[in-house]
């Protein structure tokens, strides 16, 4: 089928080989190569279409965005043309990132402007939640670990997305990676009333974004990088609750979203989300780096560093001192500062982990209302433990008590000792055992989907035939663990210790794990690799 892109067309559907629209007489083949198949979306800025590129072998799909100025007056068209070219230049620059659609072409036809981008096959996160239900805490942390480096890259290119939401995040079919789509500047409407104002005012004097996801300063036409952090925080709430912002209540005095009663997450993660959702820009995390530090997502420094290196100039040292550099310097002031951004962040993460380990620092980082104080991340070193003083032992939890608490709705069991507990065949989906002792625990045949085992000690644990789909095992110690026949599909195993772990017959489809880690474990011909294929012996 051929589809007419004329906004005034009364019947845009046409037969496949039709050259001219039967309803309005418009030419159907754009630029003599793009055959539009169907409309994908429409708004005040214009419309988006799915098309085939007939000039390439196989006629691959592409997405065409049509910008429609609100007037055909010459001065309005001139401003629209300038905005269009700036947008094409921006998309061409950031489209080098593998998780952002590439800009393939752009052109002007009559009084309309067109951007042609790579087509991303897959389901949006909004569709995922509607199909499978809300994410667990571990699932949202994994989501953040993927999207925060992308957000950092965009901001490093001086671009504010302005419309981050579940519908604009697609999980690509071929590799299951998240792709951020629909960059907001394409939605800019040229307002004839602004024609007599300065060029800057004419191009920015309109609110862009989705109500509920966009923070107050963005709706007041003053977006900053932290505006994207707020929208990402609202997206996290949607993933955890399956509720859109319009379905949640707001505090009439402060304007804050009231979401806490709808989620079951650890105290620390709740604090991070609270600061992402601060109405005041000054009290909100200022960058993606800040959120990464707060979450201790150390495994993702490598992908973040790659984003930095891919900036113009090829090296962070070629950039001017931006906001992120100043934040790093203030967090880690003093002599001996590493020049590498990733090294600076690693130091900040370690300092954050130490500072959070003491009650004094925990008190300093909160206000009486439970929110993180405006100082953000504190890097004060804790006082040294007197010589001979033993560390406070983890609270011991029996298998019976664990199942009782879980049955009553509790999910947070972080920093507990469950060593040698017998938990065969139990269902503990969505629970958090972050930084817990689970040595020699028996999880044979247990359902542990979306469980957070980050930094947990699982040495010699029995996880045979357990379902660990999408489990978070970053930095977990699995030395000598029995994982025969376990389902580890899409599990997060970055930096996990797998020395001597038995992965014979385990399913690792889509798991985040390196070849070096697998080389330390026991595998056989029945082990399904991350690619989804078994190894040929």
- Residues assigned a catalytic role: 163
Residue with tokens 């962040």: 345
Instruction: Let me know the angle formed at the C-alpha of 291 by 285 and 293, rounded to the nearest 5 degrees.
Output: 120
Whole-Å CA distances, 35 to 32, 43, 62, 308: 8, 21, 10, 38
Cα–Cα dist 277/270, whole Å: 11
How large is the greatest C-alpha to C-alpha distance in the chain, in angstroms? 88
Q: What is the token pair recorded at 503?
A: 């992965």
Residues 458, 136, 392, 353, Cα dihedral to 10°: 100
Cα–Cα dist 464/504, whole Å: 10
Cα–Cα dist 463/456, whole Å: 14
Instruction: Let me know the angle formed at the C-alpha of 459 by 454 and 465, rounded to the nearest 5 degrees.
Output: 85
Closest C-alpha among 25, 111, 102 to residue 72:
111
Q: What is the token pair recorded at 349?
A: 């993460």
Cα–Cα dist 472/464, whole Å: 17
φ, ψ (nearest 5 deg) of residue 61: -70, 155
Q: What is the token pair recorded at 131?
A: 């199909």
Query: Strand pairing partners for 171?
Result: 123, 178
Start-to-end C-alpha separation, the chain? 48
Q: What is the token pair recorded at 237?
A: 């709430």
Q: What is the token pair recorded at 249?
A: 């209540």
Cα–Cα dist 156/225, whole Å: 10
Closest C-alpha among 154, 162, 163, 128 to residue 143:
128
Q: What is the token pair recorded at 2?
A: 């051929």
Residue with tokens 């593998």: 98
φ, ψ (nearest 5 deg) of residue 42: -150, 145
Residue 440 near residue 458, CB atoms below 8 Å: no
Cα–Cα dist 373/36, whole Å: 52
Residue with tokens 């590493």: 338
Closest C-alpha among 218, 371, 381, 414 to residue 283:
371
Distance, C-alpha 111 to centroid of its chain: 37
Query: Strand pairing partners for 492?
Result: 472, 512
């Amino acid at each position: 089928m051929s589809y007419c892109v004329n906004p005034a067309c009364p019947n845009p559907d046409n037969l496949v080989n039709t050259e001219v629209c039967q309803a309005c007489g418009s030419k159907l083949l754009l630029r003599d190569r793009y055959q539009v198949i169907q409309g994908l979306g429409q708004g005040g800025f214009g419309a988006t279409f799915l098309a085939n590129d007939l000039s390439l072998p196989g006629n691959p799909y592409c997405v065409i965005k049509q910008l429609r100025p609100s007037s055909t007056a010459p001065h309005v068209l001139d401003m629209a043309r300038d905005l269009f070219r700036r947008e094409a230049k921006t998309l061409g620059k950031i489209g080098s990132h593998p998780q952002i659609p590439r800009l393939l072409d752009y052109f002007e036809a009559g009084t309309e402007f067109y951007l042609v981008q790579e087509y991303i096959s897959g389901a949006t996160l909004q569709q995922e939640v509607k199909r499978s239900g809300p994410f667990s805490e571990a699932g949202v942390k994994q989501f953040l670990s993927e999207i925060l480096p992308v957000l950092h890259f965009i901001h490093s290119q001086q671009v504010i997305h302005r419309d981050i939401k579940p519908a604009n995040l697609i999980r690509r079919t071929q590799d299951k990676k998240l792709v951020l789509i629909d960059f907001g500047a394409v939605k800019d409407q040229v307002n004839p009333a602004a024609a007599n104002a300065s060029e800057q005012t004419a191009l920015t004097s309109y609110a862009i974004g989705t109500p509920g996801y966009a923070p107050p300063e963005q709706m007041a036409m003053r977006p900053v990088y932290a505006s994207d952090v707020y929208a990402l925080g609202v997206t996290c709430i949607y993933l955890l609750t399956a509720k859109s912002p319009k379905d949640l209540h707001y505090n009439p005095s402060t304007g804050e979203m009231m979401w806490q009663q709808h989620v079951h997450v650890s105290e620390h993660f709740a604090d991070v989300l609270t600061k992402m959702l601060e109405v005041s820009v000054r009290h909100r995390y200022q960058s993606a780096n800040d959120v990464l530090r707060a979450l201790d997502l150390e495994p993702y420094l490598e992908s973040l560093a790659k984003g930095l290196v891919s900036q113009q100039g090829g090296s962070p040292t070629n950039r001017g001192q931006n906001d992120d550099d100043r934040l790093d310097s203030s967090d880690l002031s003093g002599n001996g500062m590493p020049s590498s951004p990733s090294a600076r962040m690693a130091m900040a993460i370690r300092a954050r982990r130490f500072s959070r380990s003491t009650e004094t620092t925990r008190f300093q980082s909160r206000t009486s209302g439970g929110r993180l104080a405006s100082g953000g991340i504190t890097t004060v070193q804790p006082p040294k433990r007197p010589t001979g003083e033993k560390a406070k032992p983890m609270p011991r939890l029996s298998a019976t008590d664990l199942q009782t608490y879980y049955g009553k709705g509790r999910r947070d069991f972080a920093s507990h000792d469950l060593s040698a507990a017998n938990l065969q065949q139990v269902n503990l989906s969505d629970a958090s055992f972050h930084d817990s002792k689970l040595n020699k625990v028996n999880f044979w045949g247990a359902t542990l989907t979306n469980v957070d085992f980050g930094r947990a000690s699982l040495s010699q644990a029995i996880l045979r035939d357990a379902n660990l789909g999408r489990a978070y095992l970053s930095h977990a110690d699995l030395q000598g663990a029995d994982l025969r026949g376990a389902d580890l599909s899409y599990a997060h195993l970055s930096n996990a210790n797998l020395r001597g772990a038995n992965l014979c017959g385990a399913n690792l489809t889509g798991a985040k794990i390196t070849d070096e880690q697998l080389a330390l474990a026991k595998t056989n011909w029945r082990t399904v690799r991350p690619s989804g294929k078994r190894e040929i012996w």
